[in-house]
Structure 1
């Protein structure tokens, strides 16, 4: 009877090697699957954590943006109102002047002092041309004088005569100017400072 070919019979050591190889491949496959699952789970958890942190922040930022826009509008409105108030205040001062550099004396008559100054400046000014005059109190005491004219043309005439003040020795150190609001007075001061720096 002819010998039939028999399938090769692997030795126990070969089978053991194959088994070890299959186990290693299986372990690697399981690891890969577990790693992918862990990565996906970690990404999901991280995304959820980030959302929990960022969503409230984004909401707060949007809220602040809206508040900022409203605040800018309010600031513009306040600026417009401030300018209007300043215009109205300056309009109420259009018949007033300020005089500085005259020492204060007890019981003085500021209207007579102004009339005396006007006389030296050769400006026509009578006591009835001034409706009210007085010293302006400061922290250091009474300093400047302020006067309100009954007619703005008399005020303009008095200010025009100011160009002669440098030629009158008795009036050296005396300053006469328009009665400006605090903001305009500050601008005028800065303008004089800039001019003096250029000279």
Structure 2
């Protein structure tokens, strides 16, 4: 390897030690072959400083270069003497021209097919790793957004269904259902309804009934139920308060509130729980379903409003019912336990 020390020995052997006989181009070629780019840049600036410095020229360029590079290495090894980037001197013309030349050479080198073929696999690998990281983070973000959107959608659907059910139930606030009235050919349903309701309100009149008709499919041995729309809400409340007179009779006629399909399903299972002695009572009031809990000793417990089959003792809810109930709990403003 041809080094500045070796060049110094060659010049001494030839009897030439004058620094002015040093040619710039051979030194640049020697520096490019022997040192990395950083040291080569330092050598360029050193040449310029050596040629312009006002000295007695008793020092050779090699000694000047070695002293300068030793100072640079010492300054790099000591963090306390490192020159801040903001205070670094502006490169002179020689350094700028050298930098431009190096840039041009690199541009030419990268334009060669063999260089491109050499660096293409490395660049491809780096790009692929970065793209994979980006795609992975993007997929996770999309997955999280989908999950959040699904949860919000389910919650909104639950809230919408609950509001619609409330509105539908409010539209039935003046209605009652009577079951167990026998069917006869060419019957007048209103007359049969009045005969049953007179057991509760003796002075009830046909004007108190706005409409009445049978609903549902006929089942063998069970007559269709009758929906009765009363003229005012007060009459309906009076009937519901005194319905025990009819419900306790031996003719199997029962009076209940007209519930929506969803609430009727819940009330059906509360009655099953009552028959299984899991609760001590169940009833409805203004479309709301209540149960009286049963303590371990069989005595009466708290009165609780039921808004889902999940709350019914002994009922095994489906995963969908559990999910809908958990979502509705986040938005339901009414307390679970209510004194009636």
TM-score scaled by length of structure 2? 0.40
Of the candidates 198, 207, 225, which is equivalent to residue 144 of structure 1?
225
Cα root mean square deviation, aligned = 2.8
Corresponding position: 1:177 with 2:256: yes
Task: Please tell me whether the aligned partners of residues 94 and 152 of structure 1 are also in contact (alpha carbons under 8 angstroms).
Answer: yes
Higher relative contact order (CA 8 A, sep 6+): 1
Of the candidates 115, 122, 127, which is equivalent to residue 194 of structure 2?
115
Change (3 A) 1:52 1:191: same
Match of 1:156 in 2: 237
**Partner Cα separation in structure 2 for residue 107 and residue 55 of structure 1:** 77
TM-score scaled by length of structure 1? 0.65
Unaligned runs of 5+ in 2: 1-123, 279-340
Structure 1 or 2: larger helix share?
Answer: 1
Count of aligned residue pairs for this structure pair: 154
Q: What secondary structure is seen at the aligned counterpart in 1 of 2:276?
A: helix
- After superposition, residues 1-199 of structure 1 pair within 5 angstroms as 56=135, 59-138=138-217, 140=219, 143-166=224-247, 168-169=249-250, 172-198=251-277
Hey, which bits of structure 1, 4+ residues long, moved more than 6 A? Answer: 45-55
CA distances 1:98-122 after superposition (whole Å, capped 9, x unpaired): 0111222222111111100012345
Change (3 A) 1:186 1:131: same
The offset of 1:53, in angstroms, is 7.3
Q: What secondary structure is seen at the aligned counterpart in 2 of 1:84?
A: helix
